[in-house]
Each structure stands twice: as C-alpha cells, then as structure tokens.
Amino acid sequence: MRLPSHLPRRTVLQLAAGAAMTGLTGLSTTAALAQTAPASGPRVLRIGHQKGLLSVLKGRGTLEQRLAPLGVKVTWAEFPAGPVQLEALNVGSIDFGDVGEAPPIFAQAAGAPLAYVAATPPRPALEAVLLPASSTVRSVADLKGRKVAYNKGSNVQYFLAKLLEKNGLKYTDVQHVHLPPADARAAFEKGSVDAWVIWDPFLAAAEVTLGARVLADAQGVVNNRYYYFSSLNYAARNADVIKVVIEELDKVDQWAAANRSALAAELSQLWGLPRAVVDKSVARTVYGTTPITRAILQEQQAIADTFFDLKLLPRRINLLEAAV
C-alpha cells in the first residue's frame, strides 16, 4: 500500500486501528488488565482512553486532584480502538472510557453492561463523503451505480444510508465497498473507488494531503456524537465519581474551544499528524460535554435500528437499557 510522505505508514495504521469495528484482537490486553484489577480496598477509577481529550485530561492531572478528597485513585490505560475499550469494560478491566456512536451499539448487542454517562454536542462536520479532485460527480444523486468505500458497521455507514435516503436514492443504488480507513484511502488514491465516506482526522488528512473534495458532510443528515461510557454497576455505585469526571472533561472542552491553536499543537503530537491536518479538524469540531438525555438515546436507537435492518446486528436492542 502506497502512502503519501505527509502520513507515515505507522501513523496511518495506528489511526486505522483506532477506527476498526471488527477483529477485537485486544482480548489478551484486556485479560491482562483484568488480572490486575483491584478486588477490594479504596475506590479506584480505571479509565480507558484513546488519543484524544481524555489524554489531554490525563496530562493536566486535575482529575486526580478532584478525586483525592473522595478517596478515589485514578489509573489510566491507553487503547487503539473503541471496540477494544468496550471489551475491557465487559471483562471488568476499566470503569470509564470514550467511544464513537457505533461501537457501543455492537457491544450492547453482545451483552456488555455498558452505561452511557455523557455525550458531546453534535459534530456533523466531522464526517463526509469525499471525492477525488478530478471526479465528475457533482451531486449525491450522481453516486448511483458508483463504488463507495467505507468502514462496515461504523457511524459513517449510518450516515451514508441516511444521506442516500435524503437524496431519493435507495441503499442498494450504490456499490458498497467495505474497507477499513487505511485500505480505503489506498483504494481512493488509486481510483479503485469513486467515493469514500470517512471521518476526522482521516477526512482532514485526505483533504490536506490529497486535495480530496467534499461532496456532502453530515450536516442536516445525522448528528454524529462522541460518547463517554461506564458500566451500569460502576455508574450506579459511584455517581459522585462519574459527576466529577464529567465536570473535569467539560473544563477541558471549554479550554479547547477557547484555545484551538494550543489544542491542535497538543493533538498533533498525540496523533503523529501534520499540524495542517489537525488544525483543519480542530477548527470544525464543536466542543462540550452534555448529560445523556432520552433524546440522545433515541438518536442511538435510530442507529441501532438501522444497523439491525441492514443485518449488521444479531438482534434488536433497547438503548434505554444502557441508561443509568
């Protein structure tokens, strides 16, 4: 696979791992974490995180300061992907984590005892249908009969389904090419596919380094949120701890909104991506942390129902069962 010099192969593969929806190869990692999980004693908050705002919070050290008077010790474990984090939750290795829209739906369908505890505001500008700069496609209707690449079972599959529906096309009107982000980018560069449905920072990287053109983003189609989760048992027994975590995360969000340049510099180091790519992503991100509401769970329910209809889920699920 040929990759541009702006994006080292290692960086792209790391990003792809963070986006993977299948092949949970982190079971050995989560099993090892489970062996070290405390059985009793002082309260502990074990946080699983990807490279993002939770990593920024970790670097600040403010969460530990807030929880110390409550007798709570904080531990951190970094994961390459949301599904692996949720597997860690399922085996009792972590108590809190961050994830996109799709992985918790699959985890709940598999029986994981997860609880949604907070969400970001909608971020529809962070996912889009990309076209090569030379493409003759000018509207969503022009995608009929074309090859469209995306990661199967991800939030962008839901976005694509709703985008086609909004523009009078049937789901079967396009040729669906299921590829993880790194492989999809390679196919997109070679011209093996006509369009690529993808999210940031892959989206920004393709725009900056390939000159890719946005046909449509998710604005006016789907909301595209990010979620924070715990287990139903931990959230019920440690409501005070969860409250503090959410408050501290919101402080980081407010700082991020007011200091985008500083945040971009920090994330560029975390992600190993060119500053121009990160600047583009950070500029269009809406920052904030909001409580879980029935309306937000209904958004997730719509995604779950769509995935069931597309035969991606083995059974229908009730999102209210993942509410604290």
Per residue in 126-164, pLDDT (tens digit) is 999 999 999 999 999 999 999 999 998 888 999 999 999
Locate all alpha helices (DSSP H) within 172-231, ordered by sequence.
181-190, 202-210
Residue with tokens 């209707």: 141
- pLDDT tens digits, residue range 42-100? 899 999 998 889 999 999 999 999 999 999 999 999 988 788 899 999 999 999 999 99
When the pLDDT of each residue in the chain is averaged and rounded to a whole number, the result is: 88
Closest Cα to residue 112, out of 86, 136, 138, 137? 86
Higher-confidence residue of 42 and 175: namely 175
Tell whether the model's pLDDT for residue 8 goes beyond 50.
Answer: no
Amino acid 75 reads T
Predicted structure pTM score = 0.82
What's phi and psi for 132, nearest 5 deg? -60, 150
- Torsion, CA 321, CA 292, CA 306, CA 53, rounded to 10: -120
Give dist(CA 179, CA 283) in Å, integer: 27
Give dist(CA 203, CA 280) in Å, integer: 9
**Structure-block tokens of residue 204:** 């920004």
Residue 323's pLDDT is what?
Answer: 92
- pLDDT tens digits, residue range 257-280? 999 999 999 999 999 999 999 999
CB 20 within 8 A of CB 85: no
Mean pLDDT, rounded, for 172-183: 95
**Paired strand residues for 74:** 45
**Structure-block tokens of residue 78:** 């970094």
Give dist(CA 62, CA 272) in Å, integer: 25
